Amino acid sequence: MKTDKIRELAQWIADSAYTVVLTGAGCSVDAGIPDFRSPEGWWRKIDPMKVATVDALENNYPLSWEFYHDRIKHLDTVKPHPGHYVLARLEERGKLQLVATQNVDGLHQMAGNRHVAELHGSIRSFRCHSCLRAATREQFMAKEPCPACGGKLRPNVVLFGELLPEDAWSRAMDAVRQAELVIVIGTSLQVYPVNQLPSMTRGKTALLNKEETGEEHRFDLFIPGRAAPLLTEIGEALENLRP
């Protein structure tokens, strides 16, 4: 049954002239990055409202800084998993037009994807919260103040209470509306407004996720499983379709 679904999705990819992939935290778990809402996730260990909000950054900077410092250090130990490279090969072959991601880890780009819309920003670049001047990783990790205004340095991630980056959101919306196929990978679809993207397409839709989310009815195809092995199987199925 699952094998049949993988073959069906592979055929959809082969037939589609415009495919968009939307990834969430579950797409990075197999690379060694904890997700947020599972029993092992970040938010089970610490209240996001204490570390990942504008208020926390402004009024409890030491705790907010420590949370992001630890996440950035953890990134030094991870690299893209095989599924990331499947997506990069699809783009290289002209079968994937955009990866829109909720992830801030940059793993899609490390694997080779060039067309990536980072909907929740990036944890790999930094700026001053006050004057917006760009900062370096070294300055942030050393807990230095902004050299221009003395403000607090932060990663370029979207905190709770902030708007999504306008350019990334517009790119994602435009791509989804053009898409003949939208594949959603590793997200519970609980976070607004990104959870609205799949409903904006007139194309086919597929959901790949470790467990059911209650959103399966919104998709033409649902395949349960972890991102890395599923994408690897899809890549192999695509190879078998090639003459």
Domain annotation for the chain: domains and CATH numbers: 1-33+81-120+164-243 (3.40.50.1220), 36-77+125-157 (3.30.1600.10)
Q: What is the pLDDT of residues 101-149, one digit of tens each?
A: 999 999 999 999 999 999 999 999 999 999 999 999 999 999 999 999 9
Q: What is the pLDDT of residues 156-179, one digit of tens each?
A: 999 988 999 999 999 999 999 999
What pLDDT band is residue 243 in, cutting at 50, 70 and 90?
low
Confidence (pLDDT) at 48: 65
Active site residues: 120
Beta bridge partner(s), residue 99? 21, 116
- Close Cβ partners of 46 (under 8 Å, ≥ 6 residues apart): 67
pTM, entire model: 0.93
What pLDDT band is residue 207 in, cutting at 50, 70 and 90?
very high
- As a whole number, the mean pLDDT across the chain is 93
CB atoms within 10 A of CB 142: 10
In the chain, the amino acid numbered 85 is: Y
Question: Ramachandran region of residue 214, left (φ > 0), alpha (ψ -120 to 50) or beta?
Answer: left
Q: Give percent helix, percent strand, percent coil of the chain, each to the nearest 5.
A: 45, 20, 35
Look at residue 41 and tell me whether its pLDDT is greater than 50. no
Q: Whole-angstrom distance between the N-terminal and C-terminal Cα of the chain? A: 24
Confidence (pLDDT) at 43: 46
